[in-house]
Every structure is written in structure tokens, then in C-alpha cells.
Amino acid sequence: MSAGPALDRITCDRARIARDPRFDGAFFTGVMTTRIYCRPTCPVKPAKSRNVVFFPTAAAAERAGFRPCLRCRPEAAPGTPAWRGAAATVSRALRLIERGYLDDGKRVGDLADTLGMTARHLRRLFVRHAGASPTAVATTRRVQRAKALVDGTAMPMSAIAFAAGFASIRRFNAAFRAVYRRPPTAVRRARRGRAGARGGSTAPFPITSPGRSVSDYENGFLSPIRPRVRSRIPTPAPRGSETVAKSKSGS
């Protein structure tokens, strides 16, 4: 059994058992006994072949009720090659979603209008090629961005929520809990605890993935969200300005 389009079960199964890095990001493996989904390169002992199912995207796995593995961190997987073979329209829509098109109050109908089709037809194409709806894909990407920031930075959770594209902290917490079955603060605390137990640094983990440098990450991932963060975080007044203002008002 495999979920989603154009996934050859035999090829996927061989790739995950061999932990073949060439397939990292090409598909995700859902383990039916634990309801967890992983990257093909997951370091955990591979599950038996009869107990796994394959998905073209992380959103498709979550739509089927699987949660991300905390060991292999699906949010750090390279760009999904499976999407590149999708219909041209879906590929363009995915690029727009990746850039945050649905993060600033726009709806699937607006995305469909941009692509010159009805929202119903766009949803049908997404289910066929990506295994999930545009809304589900966008939510998954927001949670993945947030998870990367939780693991790799010391940013406060409120800043992470807006940086990842959520309209409110409440929605961020709800979406994160729905995916990871725990709040983001617990995930950060547990990860730092594991690092401390190994005798490593408890400083933020570097947000990198295979084939990507830190500068690639900052230029590609952080650049579109920096303006969003800055617009929502108040800028402190220069030191001494309050005193000057009071003296003027008192004169």
C-alpha cells in the first residue's frame, strides 16, 4: 500500500532500508504501528516492510494522521523532488505557498484566481499530485518553519509564530500541538535536554540540511519572513528619548 501519486513501493522500500540519501525529500515513510512518519534517511531501525506506507509530501502524511519523527526531523528534508514532477500548475502553486502566499490573509480562492482556475479544481489537482489540499500544505510548511526555528534559534515563541507565517500565537500553538502532540516549548526543552545529556552544547542547533549552507538558509528561508517579524515586533525607543520628551513637556 502506498499513498499519493507515482510512488513505486518497491523502490521506496529499498531506499528507506538502505537509507539512500538520494531519496531524501522525495517521499516520506509512515509507520503504521507508531503512526509516525520519517525521512528515508531516518537513523532509527527500519520498520518491517508490511508495516509502512509511503507519501509524496509531509502534508499528505499528516493528512493521513501521522506525526513527524523527532529523530530524523522531516522539516529539515531537502526540497521535495516529488513535487517537481507534478502538474505545472501545482508546481507553481507550491512555489507560491513556499513563499508565504497563503500566510498573509489570502485564501485558496485568491491562489486559484492567480493561477487562472477555480478553487475546486485547484484542490482536486493538489490532492492528486501532492496528496493534500493547498491549505494542508500551507499549514504543514508553517509548522515545519516553526519547528526549524524552535530547534535552531533562541527566538521567543511569539516571534517564531509570526515568523513562520501564523496569524496568531494561539493558532501557532494549536497547529504545532496537532502535529507534534506537544507544545513547542516542550519540544525545545526536550531537545536541549538530550544535547545536555550527551555532554554537548545546549546552545541553539544550527538550522541546516543536507546540501544547504547556513548562508543558503538565511538567504532562502529567513529572507521572506524577516519583514514579517520586524513588522510585528515593536521597535524600542532610543535610550534617553523618554527623558527628553518629559523635559520638553514640562517646559
Q: Would you name the residues annotated as active-site residues?
A: 38, 42, 69, 72
Task: Express the helix, strand and coil content of the chain in percent, nearest 5 each.
Answer: 55, 5, 40
Compute the Cα dihedral for 134, 140, 131, 217 and give only its sign.
Answer: positive
At which residue does the C-alpha cell 502535529 appear? 179
Residues 6+ apart with CB under 8 A from 147: 68, 73, 75, 176, 180, 184, 187
Q: Do β-strands 36-38 and 52-55 pair in parallel, antiparallel, or remain unpaired?
A: unpaired
CB 137 within 8 A of CB 59: yes
DSSP characters for 151-168?
A: HH----HHHHHHHTT-SS
